[in-house]
Structure 1
Amino acid sequence: METPKNQSWHWQAVDPSRNVARDYHLWVETDLFGWTTVERRWGRIGTKGQGVTTSFPDRRQADTIAQQIRIRRESAFKRIGVRYQAVE
C-alpha cells in the first residue's frame, strides 16, 4: 500500500494600517493508523492561536475539506479587507 503524500499550506494576512496580522496553517497528513487528518491552526501572528484536528477514514474526504478551507482563505479580502499571502 502506497502512503499518500503529506501536504501543508501556510498563509498570512498583514495590514498594519488596519491592525491586521493573521496567521493560518493547514496540514493534511496520514496518521499511524492509516486515517487522514486535517489539522488547522490560526490566530494573530506571534501568538499561540487556536487549532482543530479532524480525522477521516478516506483521503478523498480530507482533500475535499482542505480544498474548501483553501477557497475560504482566498475569499478573505471580502471578509476582512486583506488578502492572505502564501508563506514559503
Structure 2
Amino acid sequence: MNRRRLSLVGVLLAVLVTTAGVAAAAPNDTARESSPASEAGQRGPPGELPGPVPEFVSGVHDLVSDFLSGGLDGSLGGSLSDRANDVSGA
C-alpha cells in the first residue's frame, strides 16, 4: 500500500511539473497578437535576417567537410591556419 501511494504521488508530481513547464513555455496570446510579424501577416522571427557571411567562412566550411570526408591532405589545423593567413594577407 505504501509503495502504491508513493508511486501515485510521484506520477502526480511529474504531471504537475510537466504541465506547469508547458504553460510557462507557451507564449501568451497578447504577445502573439502584438508582434510586428503578425501585424504584417508573416510568420517567423521578427526583424530582418543578417547579411551574408564573408567568403572565407564558406572556405572554412569546405575545409571541414573535406576533412570529415577524408579528402583533406594534412591536418585540419594547419589547413585552417593557412586559410586564415591567406585572408589576413589579402
Q: TM-score, normalised by structure 2?
A: 0.25
Could you say which structure has the larger radius of gyration? 2
Greater relative contact order (Cα < 8 A, sep 6+): 1
> Larger strand proportion, structure 1 or 2?
1
